[in-house]
């Protein structure tokens, strides 16, 4: 059992470096928050919790107190892969500040860690009932490989680890017309990783996302999203959230490209996401299932909690 597990891990680690892959191959599973994943890319316009440090730093201005989130996922039923994140955010002297940490690990083989500091502020001078917020996030991202045996019988392989910084910027426009609009630019400085000398390595391509949240009525929100996956391809998504009695919500979305299988499947395949949430006095528990046409389903659960006083 252990030998087979190590063989699979070694093969995956080699694949990460040797197969033709998109320019943003690392951190493809960097996403947090069951609610946001259930609603698709358009959730950048309706995120309201500390996970905004990742989705849309500008949305941190919606927080009115210190809050925290914890997030855990099990991708595609793989027992050797674990994904989790934690975050804190609060208003601070006219600004909103958020910090977060995200981890993806493949047992005894590979790990990705991202520590993020985000800040946001509302821009003054807008007409009544309009609000425009700007945000930025600085990310310290580390990719590391554990030494492993060459599955072809050669000497042990050790690619080590590398760390880089990158930056995201975002805007959030909250309108009086029941529509909020958001823009996010990700990894705008395109950090570069090269584990094999002379290979050229891989850079995290700069990407952009646009999202809209339409408040159909007090209980229903529709999300529309557009995401740039690389220079030549994009993904569209649409989602809906319906709440009941301010204690329960159901969510669903559809998109035409899952981030993780860019080099393995067709961009025209549809992926479905669905989830539920329960909440009471500022505490939220959310769960979601996301599907991939080739790899199957992933499951995620998130907890949001108030940590200090403030309006509920």
pLDDT confidence tier of residue 80, bands split at 50, 70 and 90: confident
Residue 261 has pLDDT above 50, yes or no: no
Which sign, positive or negative, has the C-alpha torsion 175, 176, 177, 179?
positive
The predicted model scores a pTM of: 0.84
Name the one residue in this structure whose structure tokens are 């609000």: 131
DSSP-assigned letter for residue 148:
B
Residue 3 confidence (pLDDT):
43
With 0-12 / 13-18 / 19 or more C-beta atoms within 10 angstroms meaning exposed / middle / buried, residue 236 is middle
User: Cβ contacts of residue 225 below 8 Å, gap of 6+?
Assistant: 40, 41, 42, 43, 44, 209, 210, 211, 212, 236, 237, 238, 239, 255
Please give the full DSSP string across 6-37, using - where no structure is assigned.
HHHHHHHHHHHHHS---TT-TTTT----HHHH
Statement: 2-306 belongs to CATH 2.40.160.40: yes
- Averaged pLDDT for residues 154-162: 79
Residue 29 has pLDDT above 80, yes or no: no
- Taking all residues of the chain, what is their mean pLDDT, rounded to a whole number? 84
Residue 230 has pLDDT above 90, yes or no: no
Residue 235 confidence (pLDDT):
83
- Averaged pLDDT for residues 83-111: 93
Q: Rg of the chain's alpha carbons, rounded to an integer?
A: 20
List 67's β-bridge partners, or say none: 89, 306
More confident residue, 127 or 17: 127
> Lowest-pLDDT range, 52-66, 246-260, 283-297?
246-260
Render pLDDT for 271-306 as a digit per residue (tens, 0 to 9).
789 999 999 999 999 999 987 766 678 899 999 999
Residue 256 has pLDDT above 80, yes or no: no
Residue 200 confidence (pLDDT):
75
Residue 109 confidence (pLDDT):
80
Token representation of residue 7: 């063989």
- CA distances for 24 relative to 82, 86, 124, 131, 233, angstroms: 20, 23, 36, 33, 13
Give the pairing of strands 271-280 and 248-255. antiparallel
Q: What angle do CA 83, 164, 112 make, to 5 degrees?
A: 15
Residue 2: which H helix or E strand, with range? helix 2-18
Q: What percent of the chain has pLDDT over 70?
A: 83
- CA–CA dist 196, 80 (Å, integer): 25
pLDDT confidence tier of residue 231, bands split at 50, 70 and 90: low
Residue 223 has pLDDT above 70, yes or no: yes
User: Cβ contacts of residue 4 below 8 Å, gap of 6+?
Assistant: none
Residue 168 has pLDDT above 90, yes or no: yes
Residue 2 has pLDDT above 60, yes or no: no
Is there a contact between 251 and 257 (Cβ–Cβ < 8 Å)?
no
């Amino acid at each position: 059992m252990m030998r087979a597990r190590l063989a699979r891990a070694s093969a995956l680690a080699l694949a990460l470096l040797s197969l033709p892959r998109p320019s943003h191959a690392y951190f493809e599973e960097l996403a947090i928050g069951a609610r946001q994943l259930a609603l698709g890319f358009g959730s950048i316009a309706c995120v309201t919790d500390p996970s905004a440090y990742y989705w849309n730093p500008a949305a941190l201005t919606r927080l009115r107190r210190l809050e925290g989130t914890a997030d855990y996922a099990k991708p595609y039923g793989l027992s050797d892969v674990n994904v989790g994140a934690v975050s804190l955010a609060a208003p601070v002297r006219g600004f909103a500040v958020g910090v977060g940490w995200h981890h993806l690990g493949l047992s005894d083989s590979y790990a990705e860690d991202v520590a993020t500091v985000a800040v946001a502020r509302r821009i003054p001078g807008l007409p009544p009932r309009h609000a425009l917020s700007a945000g930025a996030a600085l990310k310290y991202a580390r990719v590391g490989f554990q030494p492993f045996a060459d599955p072809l019988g050669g000497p042990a392989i050790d690619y080590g680890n590398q760390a880089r910084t990158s930056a995201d910027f975002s805007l959030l426009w909250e309108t009086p017309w029941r529509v909020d609009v958001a823009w996010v630019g990700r990894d705008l400085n395109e950090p570069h990783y090269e584990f094999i000398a002379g290979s050229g390595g891989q850079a995290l391509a700069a990407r952009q996302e646009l999202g809209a949240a339409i408040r159909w009525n007090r209980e229903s929100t529709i999300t529309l999203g557009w995401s740039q996956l690389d220079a030549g391809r994009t993904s569209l998504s649409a989602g809906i959230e319906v709440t009941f009695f301010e204690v329960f919500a159901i969510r669903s979305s559809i998109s035409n490209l899952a981030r993780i299988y860019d080099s393995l499947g067709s961009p025209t395949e549809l992926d479905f996401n669905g989830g539920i949430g329960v909440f009471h006095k500022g505490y939220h528990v959310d769960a979601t299932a996301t599907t991939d046409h080739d790899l199957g389903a992933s499951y995620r659960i998130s907890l949001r909690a108030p940590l200090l006083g403030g309006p509920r």
